[in-house]
Amino acid sequence: MTATLLLPLTKGQWNILRKEENITDTILGGIRHCLKEPIDQLRAQQQKLKAEYYISDEVQELLGLQYHSSHSKIIDARKKVPTVFRGIYPQKRIEYIYPKSIVNEIVQENELKEAVTTISDNIDAYEYVLRSLEINFHNSDLFTCLEWKKFVHRVLRNNSESIETKHYTIFRYAKCTGIIIDFLAEKEIYEMTSNHINLTLFNENIPFLYQKIFYSFINSIYNKLIEKNKKKLFKLERIINPYEKEVIPKDKSIYDYEDYKSLFSFATNLPLHKRKAIEDVKKQMNQTVLTKNGSGKIKRQRTFNYDSSWLYVLIHLNNAWRHKDVIRFPKIDLNDLSVSNINLDWLEQNDLSYEDARRIIHQVMRKDLRTTKTNATNHFFCSKDVTLSLATAAVICELRRAATTPLLVYGCQQYAATE
C-alpha cells in the first residue's frame, strides 16, 4: 500500500509533509519508495491526534454553536492543524484542532449548568456540582475546611441572582473549593506563611475573580485565625489584596450628539436593514441551498445573524440594558398582528403598519422582565422613531426563531428567548 493511502493524504499534502518530516525516498522501477518505519510512525501519530483532538465541526456539534467557538478555554487550547492530521479529513479545510479533554470538560460543565438551573436552593445546587465534579474534602474536620463551608454557604444563601446567572456563581465557588482542598492538603491556613499563601492562591494562574473570593474568605476569618495561632500567624496586610490591584477603567464616555445622531439614523434605516435581515434569515432557514465558488466546488452560503444584530442595536438605542438582559429579549406573539400568517415573503414586499408595530412594543412592555444580575424588575422603552424598525426586527427574529434557533443569536452563542 502506498504512503499516501496509508496516511491518507492528497498529493499536495503529502509533498508538504515530506518536507516537514524530511522523508527521503528512492525511485525503483519508476516507482517512488519510502522507508516503512517513518511512515508507520506518522500513521501512529495521526491516530493519536485523532483520538485526542476534535475538528471545529465536531466542536460546533457538541456545543451547539453555529460558527467557530468563542469560548476562551477552547481558543487558548486550540492548535494549528499538523499536516499529518489532514489525512484524516483530506477533503476538509481545517485550520485548528481542539483538545477533546478541554471540549469534553466544557460539555460536562454545560450539562451541569443546565441541571443547576433546575435546583431552586443554591446550597443544594453547589453540593450537586461538587459531587458531579468529584470535588471531595479529604479531611472535612479541618478548621479551615469548616470555615470555608460556612463562608460559601453564607454567600450562596444571601445570593439574589436570577436563575439564568446563578449557575456562574455556583460553579465559581465549586472551582474555588477544589483549589482550597488542594491548598489545605498538608496544613491549616493559620500554619502557613503569607508568602506561601500568596504564591498558592494569588498567583497569575488563579483567575482574578477567584482571588477576590479567597481574599474575602481570609479577611472574614482572620480574627478566628488569631485565636488559633497568636504567635506565628501570618500578617493580613502582607496578603495580596486583589481589590487593590490597579484595574484599567472601562470607557464610560457617551456619544457626542452628532455621532449618536448618525448611529440613530443608520440603525433605524428600515428599508436597508429589513432587506439584509430577511436575506440572511432565508439563508439560515434554507441551509440546503448550496452555491458553487470560482473553482466549481460546492460550499454552503454564509450567514451572519443580521436580524439579531439589528435588534440588539435597536434595543440599546432606548434602553441602558446589560448585554445579558438584551439577549433575553422576549418572544413575540405574531397572532396579535392584523396580518394573518405573516411570513418573510410578505414582509419583504410590505412594511408593518404603525398600529401593528405598537402592538408588538406593548407586548414587550407588558412582560414581567427581570434583570439577570439582581432579578429586579426591568423596564423596556421604545420611542416613536424607533418603533417601526424595532418591531420589524423583532418579527424577523421571531420568524427565524420559530424555524431554526432561539430568538437572539449573539456572536457564537445562542440564547433562548423568555416567555
Cα–Cα dist 122/163, whole Å: 10
At 53, phi and psi to the nearest 5? -130, 150
Q: What pLDDT, in 10s, does the model give residues 130-175?
A: 999 899 887 777 899 999 999 999 999 998 877 767 888 999 999 9
Instruction: Give per-residue pLDDT as tens, 172-224.
Output: 999 999 999 999 888 889 889 999 999 999 998 899 999 999 999 999 999 88
Tens digits of residue pLDDT in 294-320: 444 445 567 778 999 999 999 999 998
For the residues 322-343, what does the mean pLDDT come to?
Answer: 89
Rounded Cα–Cα distance for residues 160 and 142 (Å):
30
3-state secondary structure of 382: coil
Helix-helix angle 384-403:270-285, to 10 degrees: 10
Distance from C-alpha of 123 to C-alpha of 304, rounded to nearest angstrom:
40
Lowest mean pLDDT segment, chosen from 119-128, 154-163, 188-197, 346-355? 154-163
% of the chain residues with pLDDT over 70: 78
What pLDDT was estimated at residue 404? 66
Q: What is the pLDDT of residue 409?
A: 55
Please determine, for residue 278, whether its predicted confidence score (pLDDT) is greater than 90: yes
Residue 81's pLDDT band (boundaries 50, 70, 90)?
confident
- How does strand 290-292 pair with strand 408-410? unpaired
Helix, strand, coil abundance in the chain, percent, nearest 5: 55, 5, 35
pTM of the model: 0.59
Sign of the dihedral defined by the CA atoms of residues 111, 117, 122, 124, in that order: negative
Which has more confidence, 300 or 247? 247
Of 46-55, 241-250, 286-295, 366-375, the one with minimum mean pLDDT is 286-295
- In terms of Cβ atoms closer than 10 Å to its own Cβ (0-12, 13-18, 19+), residue 63 is middle
Confidence of residue 73 (pLDDT cuts 50, 70, 90): confident
